[in-house]
Structure 1
């Protein structure tokens, strides 16, 4: 029998525990099938800091989430045990040490993870942990930016470099790598050429608009196949109108509806883990960004619940 969220008919949504979706803590259940964890780390950012406060903001915004997902026809918290694993505390003054800490902590949790960041640096150790369990994984990366640059100011580990490092380390299946939502200026055409050489395909935000959700989802599913899949969502994939609270906003992004519909189109894929990163609440208004991120995390949890044999 699973233990679900606090009953909102007895305890108002604005009261009670500040866990994701008001779910039990990991130490309050015997075991978990899916664990939501936070990584309050933003030492790898190149522009506006503040994503270290993302996990707390997303948890707070998740209070209004309800237990039945009509879009996927699933009650995730009944189908599987979902728990909040708290935060991974890591060194904010030493990026390499933080990366190792996140890897070790994620590897020690015996369930599938939905991680709330934090900046995108954290995707690398999370991918390491996923690949250790499942082998090289397919990657579906939602972002305004490629995040396959080689370095920033000589630093190998930043929020703009995780997926280059992941390819170099052999933890990604290079036959199944996709960016979705890419847009905005680059340093040069070579950025695209190097990204293509690493094995990535690109669906721009304009492609989503022109081709439509169904065509985009079909193409992504064909590329993914039956491979173990990791989904990484940088909230700046959304237009600043839908996600102002982020560190590197770019005009011309996707709507929250488009993002959620693409995620729902992944139902049945072999999802093994996911993250939602770069929520920086200091730049947010009326919790617009953290609400969007909480719904993204809820959809990811629901997709993982659909994979369980129950």
Structure 2
């Protein structure tokens, strides 16, 4: 950006429970002449196989994001909204009755808001939405490396004969040539499966997996190193299903699996991925009807903020200094 970014309204000026209903109270897409990163909501859950409700995810994550103090990300040493123009691009009006129609609408909307070098961070919606988002990314960057945080592989062929569900997006993406072979990885996978052929098929697509049980053994640092070694300098798309977390940390989701990551582990992994050629990301499967005290929504909002911060770091030659007046936002303090 050639002009100073329009930043979110500070919680020291307007209380965080008031003001705009955008993500982190960012400006809307039509309030600035240009932007670098757009946060887009995709309220669609027509591909859900168990508990529905992720269509309400974008609204809940935006509401929870009011709690953030987004001026400065301490661990990533970046003030993302000072150096990068980020906007809230609103929601895709995805057809709730036709998966195929919705996929087309999502892809077209993603194309419209992410051209000319802009990046997109999407809030779902169920994981079906990752397919049109990958199609859009591939139209701009060619095939990409995929780092996929999830309890499930999401490389099934069909479910009850349906080829497009929240369990199939990455098989379809592989078949369509959207992914770089031998550059894709799942992290946090766990739980029983229908058949061992699911694992064999997944490996045949070029995926490798860090299961949740393996993470218990090797730790976050080694897992992050595996991810970095896997993707190298390829353009990377991050797809984060909130059910990668244990239900204790993310109860508000459609297909919870016990034995998952802690929220601290997920954040540590993400914050270890600085330097990757990140070109886009999504956070999906927040179903607020099953949430308690906004636990899941607040976690997802924090993850979205981390993704924006990663993109901002990649777009600046050096990290900015901390806030000029730290007394206004004391570490760990209020407001």
| Both structures adopt the same fold (TM-score exceeding 0.5) | yes
**Residue of structure 2 aligned with 1:27, choices 14, 30, 33:** 30
Matched with 1:258 is 265
Q: CA separation in 2, counterparts of 1:227 and 1:280?
A: 32
Cα deviation code 1:101-144 (max 9, x no counterpart): 10111011132000000000000000000010001000000000
Aligned to 2:89, which of 85, 88, 109?
A: 85
Return 5+ residue gaps in structure 1 as ranges: none
Distance 2:61 2:27 in 1: 16
Partner of 2:40: 37
2:152 is aligned with 1:149: no
The separation in 1 between residues aligned to 2:10 and 2:299, in whole angstroms, is: 23
Q: CA deviation at 1:260?
A: 0.5
- Could you list the per-position Cα deviations for residues 228-263 of structure 1 after superposition, in whole angstroms to 9, with x for gaps in the alignment? 000000000000000000000000000000000100
1:238 aligns with 2:251: no
Deviations 1:168-194 (A, max 9, x none): 000100120100000001001111001
1:114 aligns with 2:121: yes
Number of residues of Structure 1 aligned to a counterpart in Structure 2: 310
Q: 2:143 — aligned with what?
A: 136
Quick one: distance in 2 between partners of 1:219 and 1:136? 20
Q: Which runs of at least 4 in structure 1 moved beyond 4 Å after TM superposition? A: none
Q: Give the secondary-structure state (helix, strand or coil) at the position aligned to 1:195.
A: helix
Tell me the equivalent position of 1:2: 5
Residue of structure 2 in register with 1:283 after alignment? 290
Matched, 1:269 2:279: no
What secondary structure, in the 3-state scheme, does the structure 1 residue paired with 2:310 have?
helix
- The one of 149, 161, 168 equivalent to 1:161 is 168
Distance 1:200 1:57 in 2: 32
Shift of 1:43: 0.5
Aligned match of 1:102 = 106
State the alpha-carbon separation in 1 of the partners of residues 194 and 163 from structure 2.
18
Alpha-carbon offset, residue 309 of structure 1: 3.5
Aligned counterpart for 1:301 among listed residues 289, 303, 308: 308
Q: Which residue of 1 aligns with 2:77?
A: 73
Distance in 2, matches of 1:245 and 1:261, equals 21
- What is the TM-score when the length of structure 2 is the normalising length? 0.92
TM-score normalised according to structure 1 size: 0.99
Residue 178 of structure 2 is aligned to residue 174 of structure 1: no
Corresponding residue of 1:57: 60
For 1:308 and 1:34, how far apart are their aligned partners in 2?
10
CA distance in structure 1 between the partners assigned to 2:124 and 2:271 by the alignment: 21
